[in-house]
Amino acid sequence: MRAANRMRDALKQPGGVSVTSFNRKVLLTGQVASEDDKRAAEAAVAALPNVRSVHNELQVLGRPSLATSAADTSITARVKTALLDAQDLHANVIKVVTESGTVYLMGLVSRREAERAAQVASRVAGVQRVVTVFEYITEDEVKRVSQPKQ
């Protein structure tokens, strides 16, 4: 919410920017009108309290078409389904964001899970590229986190 408010203040046309956060890491996706807007968006979000890092994937383009946005929504749904179907992944800890056919994966995972999730996502129809913005933990930590609470 705070990031969206900062976008409205920092950019001339903030409507094409999506802000996704996970564990104080922020992913910026979407389109902006200029390189200056791209830099301003990153600076505005980086200045927020508790933001550890910003992964700026903004593109200097016009706004995406309705067809592109609909295709991205469909790709995100198919990637989430594929991750859920993968028996060797804990899909509930992976966020999926799609922008113009590029799939961004965020979460707290082991390196094995990260590689496997990227592999699964890359095989989904319509995915042009996969970008991982994971935070890595050990396999022991994965087991501890994924065990049901008693």
Q: Which pLDDT tens digit goes with each residue over 94-109?
A: 999 999 999 999 999 9
Per-residue confidence at 142, pLDDT binned at 50, 70, 90?
Answer: confident
Per-residue confidence at 15, pLDDT binned at 50, 70, 90?
Answer: low
CA distance 3 to 65: 24
The pLDDT mean for the chain works out to 88
Question: What domains can be seen in the chain, in order of their start residue?
Answer: 2-60 (3.30.1340.30), 66-146 (3.30.1340.30)
If one compares 141 and 56, the residue with the highest pLDDT of the two is 56
Average pLDDT score over residue span 88-93: 88
Is the CA virtual torsion 57, 123, 84, 134 positive or negative? negative
| pLDDT surpasses 70 at 117 | yes
pTM, entire model: 0.80
Q: Which two tokens stand for residue 67?
A: 């067809």
| pLDDT surpasses 80 at 150 | no
Whole-angstrom distance between the N-terminal and C-terminal Cα of the chain?
34
Q: Which of 61, 59, 57 is nearest to 130 (CA)?
A: 57
pLDDT score for 32: 86
pLDDT score for 148: 62
How does pLDDT run across 22-72, given as a tens digit for each residue? 888 999 998 888 898 899 899 999 999 999 999 999 988 767 778 888 999
pLDDT score for 9: 72
In the chain, the percentage of residues whose pLDDT exceeds 70 is 91
